[in-house]
Amino acid sequence: MLFESSRVQLRKMTEGDVTVYHKWRNDMEVMYTTNPSIDVYPMAATQKFVDQVILGSTSAKSYIMMEKEDEIPIGIVSLIHIDYENRNAECIIDIGEKEYWGKGYGSEALRLLLDYVFYEMNLHRVSLKVFSFNDRAIHLYTKIGFQPEGTSRQSLFRNGEWHDIIHMGLLQTEYFEQKRGMNK
């Protein structure tokens, strides 16, 4: 399945994406704002993670974010903990290529994923977690319509300091209302 906007394409992650994902997963600057467990992984560990957690899961879907014009992989968006019975999931977004940070690619990719989640999968709710120091991501999620739902206080330790993890959620009806408002 392929989704696209003016500058971004999302395509299903495949076995052939392990090398580029491994590069992103081992880039401390990329993982600093998104992964609670910063570490360096050997290729075998990344291969096992991709095989078992990403490609082998029945409750997850992962898509490689492609810069459309040059077809360059720039990141990954995923749905995890998909609960079809209760129609909800958690989403994760990582832009692995730092030269694409702050240029709207994440916003386009997240909107493509949310269109799929709410229009095609007919999920009722999507949640996410964001580190309290990641102002850029908090701004993006709020702009898209995510609402703060709670905080895990001082549950992340980075650079000698404790930080909160903010839990946010977006309901299908809220997303539809916001899209209608944008189209007026």
pLDDT band at 18 (very low <50, low <70, confident <90, very high): very high
Give residue 104's pLDDT: 93
Structural domain boundaries of the chain? Answer: 2-182
Tell me the sheet residues that pair with 130.
166
Mean pLDDT of the chain: 92
DSSP category for residue 50: I
Contact 43, 55 (CB under 8 A): no
Does the structure show a pLDDT above 90 at 144? yes
Does the structure show a pLDDT above 60 at 23? yes
CATH architecture designation of domain 2-182? 3-Layer(aba) Sandwich (3.40)
Question: Could you write out the DSSP letters of every residue in 60-89?
Answer: -EEEEEEETTTTEEEEEEEEEEEETTTTEE
Greatest alpha-carbon pair distance for the chain in Å reads 50
Does the structure show a pLDDT above 80 at 9? yes
Give residue 180's pLDDT: 82
How many other C-beta atoms lie within 10 A of the C-beta of residue 155? 14
pLDDT band at 125 (very low <50, low <70, confident <90, very high): very high
Residue-wise pLDDT tens digits, 164-177:
999 999 999 999 99
Does the structure show a pLDDT above 80 at 38? no
d(CA 83, CA 89): 6
pLDDT band at 184 (very low <50, low <70, confident <90, very high): low
Characterise 6 by phi-psi region: left (phi > 0), alpha (psi -120 to 50), beta (else): alpha
